[in-house]
Structure 1
Amino acid sequence: MDDQGLDELRALAASGNRDAIDQLVELAGERGDTAELRRLADAGSRDAVDQLVELAGERGDTAELRRLADAGSRDAAEMLDEQGEAGQL
C-alpha cells in the first residue's frame, strides 16, 4: 500500500471507522511498525496492543513488554513472567 492509501486509512480510522482501524493494525503488524501500532493502541485499539505484545515477545523486547504491562496489558505481564522479568516491573 502506498503512502496515499495509508493516509486515507488513517483518516478513516481517526473518524472511528472500525474496518480502517483493523486494516491499519494488520498492515502495521505485517510491517513490524511499532510506532503505528503504538498510535493505534493509544487510540484504544485492543488489537494493536495484542500485536505489540506479539512483536515485542518475538523480538525479546522486554522494555516494550514492561511498557505495555505498566499500561495494563495482562498478556504483556504474563509474557514477562514467563521470561522471568516480572520481578523487574
Structure 2
Amino acid sequence: MTESDLSALRERAANGDATAVDILIELAGERGDMAELRRLAEGGSSDAADQLIEVATELGDLDELRRLADSGNITAAEQLAELTDD
C-alpha cells in the first residue's frame, strides 16, 4: 500500500468511515505501527486500543502498556500485571 493510499484511508477514517478505520487498524497491526494505532485509539476506536495493547504486549513495551493502564484501560493494566508478575 502506498503512502497515497494510506493518506486516502486516513482521510476517509477522519470523515467517519468505519471500514477505513478497520483497514487502518489491520494494516497498523501487521506493521506493528504503534503510532498509528495510538492515533486511532485516541480518536475513540476501542478496536485500535485493543490492537495497540496486543502489539505492545508482543513487543514487551511496558511503557506503552503503563500509559494505557494509567489512562484507565483495564486490559492494558491486566497485561502489564502479567508481564511484570514475578
Query: Smaller-chain TM-score range?
Result: over 0.9
The answer for unaligned runs of 5 or more in structure 2 is none
**Residue in 2 aligned with 1:51?**
51
Partner SS for 2:37? helix
Return the offset for 1:83: 2.1
Identical aligned pairs, as a percentage? 59
Tell me which residue corresponds to 1:76: 76
CA drift at 1:81: 1.4
Instruction: Output the amino acid matched with 2:48.
Output: A
Cα distance in structure 2, aligned partners of 1:22 and 1:30? 12
Q: TM-score, normalised by structure 2?
A: 0.93
Q: Determine the structure 2 residue equivalent to 1:36.
A: 36
Q: Distance in 2 between matches of 1:5 and 1:83?
A: 36
The aligned counterpart of 1:63 is 63
Q: How many residues align?
A: 85
**How far 1:15 sits from its partner (Å)?**
0.4
Counterpart Cα distance in 2 of 1:13 and 1:56: 23
CA deviation map 1:16-67 (0-9, x unaligned):
1000000000000001111111110110011111111011111111100000
Query: What is the identity, as a one-letter code, of the residue corresponding to 2:28?
Result: A
Query: 1:84 deviation in Å?
Result: 2.9
Give the deviation of 1:82 after TM superposition: 1.4
Q: 1:70 and 1:35 mapped to 2: Cα distance?
A: 18
CA shift for structure 1 position 72: 1.7
Quote the residue 1:24 is aligned against.
24
CA distance in 1, matches of 2:4, 2:43: 21
Q: Which amino acid aligns with 2:30?
A: E
Amino acid at match of 2:27: L
